[in-house]
Amino acid sequence: MEGDGLANRRRLVSTGDLPVGDVVEEQMRAAHERYRDVTDGRVADYIPALSCASPDWFGIAICGVAGAVRAVGDADREFSIQSVSKPFVFALVCDAIGVEEARARLGANGTGQPFDSVIAVELDPDKATNPLVNAGAVATTSLVPGADVDERWEAIRSGLSRFAGRELVIDDEVYRSESGSNQRNRGIAHLLAGYDRIYADPEETTDVYTRQCSLLVSARDLAVMGATLADGGVNPVTGERVVGEDVCTKVLAVLATAGMYERSGDWLFDVGLPGKSGVSGGMVTISPGKGGMGTFSPPLDEAGNSVRGRLATTDLAHALGLNLFASAPADTG
C-alpha cells in the first residue's frame, strides 16, 4: 500500500526554479554588455562558408521550463547548428533504440582528445568513443531509423525541428561547403566501418551527418531545444513530447562529461552545467528542471568553443543560481 502511494506521487528531482523574469532579463543584458566587446578568439575558417561570419555577432537567449523565452543581442540571427546537433540526435537515437543499447553501440566516456580525433578511436579498447565527438556522432547518425538515406535524414530534420518548436531548414551553402571539405569525417566513418562501429553505409552516413550539421538555428532555438531536455523531453513552448524522460537523464549525463571535448572538466568546474558548443559559434547549456540557454558568437577558443558564449554562460550560471553543484548549508534552526 505504501508503495502504491509513493508511485502516485510526483517523482522528486534535485532542481528548483529560475528567478523571476525581470531578474533573468536584467542579468542577461548585463552579461551581454560585459562581453560584447571581447575580441579574443577566431572565427572558424576550415569550413569555407563559416569564415564570412562577423566576429561582432553576439546573442543570448534563455527559455524556462514554463515556456517563457527571453533574448538579447543577435539571438534571432540564424547560423548552422554544427556540433550542437549531436546531443539532440543522440537523444532521438536513445528514444528509438533504448538508452542501454545506444550506450553499448556508441560509448559514453570522454576521450580527452580533440573533437575530430582519430587516435581516440584507436586507443579505445572497444573502438567506441562517445556521441559528442565526431566519431561517435557519425556512428549515432548511422543508428537513426529509416528504410533509406532519405528517411533517416527526414527523421533527423523533423526530430530537431520538434526540439526547436519550428520547422528547421538546411543552409545549402554550408552543406555544399562542408561536403567539399569533410574528408576527415569520411575517413573516420570508414575507420569505424572497419571495426563494425558504424551501422549504415559510411558514405551515406557522412552525407546525412553533414546535412545535420548544416541545419539553420538561432540562439533562441537552442534555448528552446535545451529547455526541452531540461523539461524531461517535453518542449515547453509547444507542449509536445519529443523524447522520453529517461532519455534526457542519460543525454545530460554524457553532455556533462564530454560536451566540451577536452575542456569538459574545466567547463564543469567553472559552469557546473551540461553544455555543447559548435564551430559556427553556437552553444547550448541545460539546467535540468529549470531551462535552457542558447548563445551565439562566432569567435572560438583553441578547443573550438565560443569565447563570448563561454564567458556569458559562466556568469549567468552563477548569477541565476543554475550550477548543479552549488549548495548552501541546511537551515536547521
Q: What is the pLDDT of residues 202-226, one digit of tens each?
A: 999 999 999 999 999 999 999 999 9
Q: Which fold has domain 16-319?
A: Beta-lactamase (3.40.710)
Burial 256-272 (b: 16+ CB within 10 A, else e): bbbbbbbbbeebbebbb
Which pLDDT score is estimated for 119?
53
Confidence (pTM): 0.91
Alpha-carbon dihedral of residues 109, 273, 282, 160, nearest 10 degrees?
70
Q: Which residue has the higher pLDDT, 141 or 257?
A: 141
Which pLDDT score is estimated for 110?
62
- The single residue listed with the C-alpha cell 526541452 is 228
The DSSP element (H or E) to which 93 belongs, if any, is helix 86-97
- Domain assignments of the chain as residue spans, ordered by start: 16-319
pLDDT-based confidence at residue 125 (cuts at 50, 70, 90): low
Q: What percent of the chain has pLDDT over 70?
A: 89
Separation of alpha carbons 248 and 287, rounded Å = 12
- State how far the alpha carbon of 99 is from the alpha carbons of 29, 142, 199, 248, in Å: 38, 16, 16, 10
pLDDT tops 80 at residue 282? yes
pLDDT-based confidence at residue 7 (cuts at 50, 70, 90): very low
Ramachandran assignment for 261, one of left (phi > 0), alpha (psi -120 to 50 degrees), beta (any other):
left
Q: What percent of the chain has pLDDT over 90?
A: 70
